[in-house]
């Protein structure tokens, strides 16, 4: 087969959607080298140009279209894909070109989440309208739709009216760097680099209201354990002001640390150095930090509801994210029981094996083949 991808984020985005795109493309090329892979993108950032080694062709706009990369990707790419003889085109991040039906190209669309619909107050009005229009239209165009969790599958059905039978859940893995053995020497280097002098509870994620770090800080304060620190790693937003005010008011400045500039290469060792990982988010599409932490052998506490149990499985503990008392209870339970912490660590490492490419890539390839066999929904 000739398989085409919307690779804009694979070549230009260093966070969630970029990581997902690079994971899917590189894993498929490795697992199924017999197929041809075409990666379409308006531009390529130097640091991502070699994320996949060989076996692919990069397609970019030509002539005047170079000046209007976004228009090319949204309005003209479908014709280009058809001319290139692509059998199936995969929109990796919510979108398909509006003209994708101009040729005989079958399409697969990945939907990550509809958080902008569930929590509109977190988005600008213009952005909400734009996302709704583009994502809804793409769902109408797609022959097959992949949801990254059952929660997302249900949301696309509820808010966009897509029949559940037209969607399949396809889980993703975290990056291989989180799956490598982390030596004690590496952990010590990272502890020294970031000044980790005490044992610490870790939270990783953008510091924003939906991630709910305030309730975690409240639970941590109630622990009253001066031997522990709380370390929150992530990009700050305006929500950080609220957290800073709480920390100052309750005299937690020497116990709660925010790290906004951690080197990504250090993340596995940061996870592995933590005594406990707590992810109190209210809602996610999947929750990659959960499986990053489990890969690194850290016991995980996360939220009830949404998609969190899909990621954490039976080896994580769950708490109502709206009640810091629940978070506190679960934190106390793990911190007081070394056998439980060890069981969660070992169970987490087993849980994440179901997300490995050797499990998920054959499933994705079958989606492609089935889409072509059935001729899609068009």
Residue 163 CA to its chain's centroid (Å): 24
The mean per-residue pLDDT over the stretch 359-376 comes to 91
Same domain, 69 and 164: yes
Please, what's the b/e burial string for 227-263 (b: 16 or more CB within 10 A of its CB; e: otherwise)?
ebbbbbbbeeeebbeebeebbeeeebeebbbbbeebe
Provide the residue range defining the domain that includes 209. Answer: 176-355
Res. 85: pLDDT tops 70 = yes
pLDDT band at 225 (very low <50, low <70, confident <90, very high): confident
Residue 136 has pLDDT above 80, yes or no: yes
**Per-residue confidence at 65, pLDDT binned at 50, 70, 90?**
confident
**From CA 223, how far away is CA 179, in angstroms rounded?**
31
Q: Does residue 103 or residue 340 have the better pLDDT? A: 340
pLDDT for 146 equals 97
Mean pLDDT calculated for residue range 74-86:
94
pLDDT exceeds cutoff 90 at 55: no
Regarding whether 20 and 50 lie in a shared domain, the answer is yes
**Contacts for 271 with CB less than 8 Å, ≥ 6 apart:** 178, 202, 204, 277, 292, 293, 295, 296, 298
Q: Let me know whether 248 and 368 are in one domain.
A: no
What's the pLDDT band for 268 if we cut at 50, 70, 90?
very high
H helix intervals, 6-114: 8-12, 16-31, 69-71, 77-83
Closest CA to 144 of 376, 378, 363: 376
87 and 220 part of one domain: no
Return the pLDDT at 376: 52
| Phi-psi sector, 55: left (phi>0), alpha (psi -120 to 50), beta | left
List the CATH number of the domain containing 256.
3.40.50.2000
Q: Roughly what angle, to the nearest 10 degrees, separates helices 213-223 and 324-335?
A: 50
Total number of domains in the chain: 2
DSSP-derived 3-state class of residue 161: coil
Say whether both 153 and 204 belong to one domain. no
Cα–Cα dist 175/173, whole Å: 7
| 344-372 average pLDDT score | 96
Read off the pLDDT of residues 269-286 as tens digits, 9 standing for 90 and up: 999 999 999 999 999 999
* CA-closest candidate to residue 119, choices 323, 321, 282, 307: 282
CA of residue 329 relative to chain centroid, distance: 28
Reply yes or no on whether the pLDDT at 375 is more than 90: no
Rounded CA-CA distance 231/271 in Å is 11
- Asked whether residue 351 falls in the same domain as residue 361, the answer is no
Tokens representing 111? 């939907």
Same-domain pairing of 314 and 364: no
Do 242 and 367 share a domain, yes or no? no
Q: How many CA atoms lie within 13 A of 79 on its CB side?
A: 6
For the four alpha carbons of 85, 88, 91 and 92, in that order, the dihedral sign comes to: negative
Q: Is the pLDDT of residue 93 over 80?
A: yes
- As a whole number, the mean pLDDT across the chain is 94
Q: What tokens were used for 272?
A: 């592995």
Average pLDDT over residues 31-46: 95
6 and 33 in a single domain? The answer is yes
pLDDT interval class at 33 (50, 70, 90): very high
Q: Report pLDDT for 377.
A: 52
Confidence bin at 235 (pLDDT 50/70/90): very high
- Distance between CA atoms of 297 and 370, rounded to whole angstroms? 37
CA dihedral 265, 307, 157, 75 (to 10 degrees): -10
In this predicted structure, which of 8-12, 61-65, 318-322 has the lowest mean pLDDT?
61-65
CA–CA gap between residue 316 and residue 344 (Å, rounded): 6
Closest CA to 206 of 231, 229, 233: 233
Co-location of 59 and 107 in the same domain: yes
Order of strands, sheet of 167-169, starting from the edge strand that comes earlier in the sequence: 56-59, 36-40, 2-6, 88-91, 106-111, 144-147, 167-169
Percent of the chain at pLDDT above 70?
99
The model's pTM is 0.90
Claim to verify: residue 90 and residue 111 sit in the same structural domain = yes
Domain shared by 56 and 100, yes or no: yes
| Stretch 79-90: mean pLDDT | 96
Q: What is the pLDDT of residue 11?
A: 94
């Amino acid at each position: 087969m000739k398989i085409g991808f919307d690779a804009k984020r694979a070549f230009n985005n260093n966070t969630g959607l970029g990581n997902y795109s690079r994971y899917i493309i590189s894993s498929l090329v490795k697992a199924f080298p017999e197929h041809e892979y075409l990666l379409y993108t308006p531009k390529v950032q130097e640091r991502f140009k070699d994320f996949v080694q060989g076996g692919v062709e990069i397609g970019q706009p030509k002539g005047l279209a170079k000046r209007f990369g976004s228009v090319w990707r949204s309005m003209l790419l479908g014709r280009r894909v058809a001319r290139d003889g692509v059998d199936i085109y995969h929109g990796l991040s919510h979108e398909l070109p509006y003209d994708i039906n101009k040729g005989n190209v079958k399409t697969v669309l990945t939907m990550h989440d509809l958080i902008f619909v569930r929590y509109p107050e977190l988005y600008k009005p213009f952005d909400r309208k734009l996302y709704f229009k583009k994502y809804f239209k793409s769902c109408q165009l797609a022959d097959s739709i992949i949801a990254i969790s059952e929660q997302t599958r249900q949301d696309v059905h509820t808010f966009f009216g897509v029949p559940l039978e037209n969607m399949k859940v396809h889980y993703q893995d975290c990056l291989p760097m989180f799956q490598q053995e982390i030596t004690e020497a590496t952990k010590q280097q990272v502890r020294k680099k970031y000044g980790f002098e005490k044992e610490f509870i870790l939270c990783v994620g953008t510091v924003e209201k939906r991630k709910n770090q305030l309730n975690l800080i409240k639970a941590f304060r109630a622990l009253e354990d001066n031997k522990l620190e709380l370390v929150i790693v992530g990009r700050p937003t305006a929500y950080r002001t609220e957290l800073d005010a709480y920390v100052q008011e309750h005299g937690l400045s020497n116990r709660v640390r925010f790290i906004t500039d951690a080197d990504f290469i250090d993340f596995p060792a940061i996870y592995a150095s933590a005594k406990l990982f707590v992810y109190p988010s209210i809602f996610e599409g999947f929750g990659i930090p959960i499986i990053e932490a489990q890969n690194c052998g850290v016991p995980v506490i996360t939220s009830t509801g949404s998609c969190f149990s899909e990621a954490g499985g039976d080896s994580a503990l769950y708490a109502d994210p709206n009640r810091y008392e629940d978070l506190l209870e679960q934190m106390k339970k793990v911190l007081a029981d070394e056998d439980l912490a060890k069981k969660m660590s070992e169970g987490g490492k087993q849980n994440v094996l179901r997300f490995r490419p050797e499990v998920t890539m054959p499933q994705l390839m079958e989606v492609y083949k089935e889409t072509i066999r059935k001729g899609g929904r068009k």
